[in-house]
A and B are shown apart, each in its own frame.
Chain A
Amino acid sequence: MVAPATLRVVRCGGSTLHGARAVFSADSKQVGNNNYLITCQSRLHQHIINDANLYSSSLDGSIKLWDFMDGIPIKTFTVGSKLLALYALASSEDSVFVVIPKSDTFQLVSVKLTKAAGQDLEAKELSVVLHGVGASPKSIAFGREGEYVASVKDLNLQVYFFKQKQLNRFSLSAVKTKGGNNHFTCVACHPTEDCIATGHADGKIRLWRNFYHKKEYTFSTLHWHHDTVMDLAFSIEGTSLLSGGVESVLVLWHNGSDCRKDFLPRLGSPIEYISMSSDGALCCTLHTDNRITIINSNLRFSKCIQGLIKTMDVKTGLVVDPRTKALVLNGEPGHLQFYCLQSDQQLFSLDIVQRQYIHQAGLKQTDLVKVAFSAQGKWLATVEERDEVTDPELQLKLWFYDEETQSFKLNTRINMPHEDHVTDMCFRDMDELEDDSLILVTAGRDCVFKVWVMVEDTDPEGKYAQQSVSWNCDFVGSYHNYQATNCCFSEDGSVLAVSFEETVTVWDSVTWDLKCTFCHPPGKIRNICFGRLTCSKYLIGATDHGFLCCWNLLSCALEWSAHLNILVLQPDPLSEYIAAVSWLSKESSLFVFKPNEPRPIYIQRNLCKEKIQLAAFIPRDEPETVGSEKYLWLRRSQLFFLTDTQELMTLSTKSLEERLTPSSKQLAVEESLPVTPFSLLLGKHRCQQSQQDIDLGKRVVQNKHEQDSPAVKELLHTPAHVLPSASFLCPIFINSLLISKENKSAEVAADEVEMESEKAEDESDEERDITEMEQEDTSPMELLGEMTCKLSKSQEKELRKIRKTDYSWISAF
Chain B
Amino acid sequence: MATYKAVAVPAVPRLGERITQDTVYWRGYKTPVQIKEFGAINKIDFSPVPPYNYAVTASSRIHIYGRYSQEPMKTFSRFKDAAYCATYRDDGNLLVAGSEEGSIHLFDVSGRAPLRQFDGHTKPVHVVGFLSDKYRIFSGGDDYASYLWDIPSGTDIVSYSEHTDYVRCGCASKVNADVFITGSYDHTVKLFDARTKRSVMTIEHGQPVESVLLFPSGGLLVSAGGRYVKVWDVLKGGQLLVSLKNHHKTVTCLCLTSSGQRLLSGSLDRHVKIYSTTSYKVVHSFNYATSILSLALSPEDETIVVGMTNGVLNVKHRKPEERKEKSQKKRQPAYRTYVKGRSYMPKQEDFCVSKPVKRVLRKYDKLLKSFQSSKALDAVLEPPIRLYTPEVTVAVMQELHRRGTLRSALAGRDEKQINLLLTFVARRVIEPRFTSVLVTVADMITDIYQPVVGQSAIVDRQFLKLQEAIGKEIDYQEELLEVLGMMDTLFATFTQKRATCLEENKSNGLNRGY
Contacts and interface: CB of A to CB of B under 8 A. Distances in A.
Q: Do A and B bind each other?
A: yes
B455 interface: no
Contact of A268 (B2, B402, B403, B437): B2
Contacts of B500: 514
Contacts of B402: 355, 358, 363-366, 386
A509 to B, nearest CB: 13
28 contacts: A264-B1, A268-B1, A293-B1, A301-B1, A351-B5, A355-B399, A355-B402, A356-B7, A358-B402, A362-B404, A363-B402, A365-B402, A366-B402, A390-B440, A391-B401, A415-B10, A459-B21, A460-B276, A461-B21, A461-B276, A464-B20, A464-B21, A473-B508, A475-B504, A475-B505, A476-B508, A513-B501, A514-B500
Interface in B4-39: 4-5, 7-8, 10, 20-22
A293 B500 CA distance: 58
Contacts, number: 76
Interface in A304-363: 304, 351, 354-356, 358, 360, 362-363
Contacts of A459: 20-21
Interface string B64-96: 000000000000000000000000000000000
Interface string B307-346: 0000000000000000000000000000000000000000
B5 A355 contact: yes
B283 interface: yes
B279 interface: yes
A522 B107 CA distance: 95
Contact of A478 (B1, B437, B504): B504
A679 to B, nearest CB: 28
Interface of B: 1-5, 7-8, 10, 20-22, 276, 278-279, 281, 283, 368-369, 399, 401-404, 436-437, 440, 500-501, 504-505, 507-508, 512
Interface in A472-528: 473, 475-478, 511-514
A413 B13 CA distance: 10
A355 B7 CA distance: 7
A461 B3 contact: no
A511 B501 CA distance: 9
B242 to A, nearest CB: 13
Interface string A447-483: 0000000000001111110000000010111100000
Interface in A238-268: 264, 266-268
Given A386-B402, A390-B440, A391-B436, A462 B5 contact: no
Contacts of B436: 391
B440 A391 contact: yes
Contact of A461 (B22, B399, B504, B508): B22
Q: Which of B5, B7, B10, B512 has the most CB of A within 10 A?
A: B5
Contact of A475 (B403, B437, B508): B508
A208 B176 CA distance: 107
B4 A356 contact: yes
A476 B3 contact: no
Contacts of B4: 266, 356
A424 to B, nearest CB: 19
A354 B21 CA distance: 33
Given A266-B3, A354-B8, 12 more contacts: A293-B1, A355-B8, A358-B402, A360-B404, A362-B404, A390-B440, A413-B10, A459-B21, A460-B279, A460-B281, A461-B21, A461-B276
Q: Is chain B's interface secondary structure helix, strand, loop, or mixed overall?
A: helix
A514 B498 CA distance: 12
B404 A363 contact: yes
A462 B403 contact: no
B11 to A, nearest CB: 9
A575 B389 CA distance: 55
Nearest to B8: A354
Given A354-B5, A460-B278, A512 B437 contact: no
Contacts of B20: 459, 461, 464
B437 A391 contact: yes
Nearest to B439: A391
Nearest to A392: B436
Nearest to B436: A391
Nearest to A464: B21
Chain A to chain B: the 4 pairs with minimum beta-carbon distance, closest first: A476-B508, A460-B279, A301-B1, A356-B5
Contacts of A355: 5, 7-8, 399, 402
A245 to B, nearest CB: 15
A266 B2 CA distance: 6
Contacts of A413: 10
B437 to A, nearest CB: 7
A408 to B, nearest CB: 17
A439 to B, nearest CB: 16
B2 A363 contact: no
Contacts of B368: 356
Contacts of A391: 401, 436-437, 440
Contact of B512 (A267, A354, A473, A511): A473
B451 to A, nearest CB: 22
Interface string A543-587: 000000000000000000000000000000000000000000000
Contacts of B21: 459, 461, 463-464
Contacts of A511: 501
Contacts of B22: 461
A266 B1 contact: yes
A423 to B, nearest CB: 19
B283 A460 contact: yes
A358 B5 CA distance: 11
A388 to B, nearest CB: 9
A788 to B, nearest CB: 61
A356 B493 CA distance: 51
Contacts of A477: 504
A478 B281 CA distance: 37
B1 A462 contact: no
Contact of B1 (A267, A365, A386, A473): A267
B217 to A, nearest CB: 18
Contacts of B512: 473
B278 A462 contact: yes
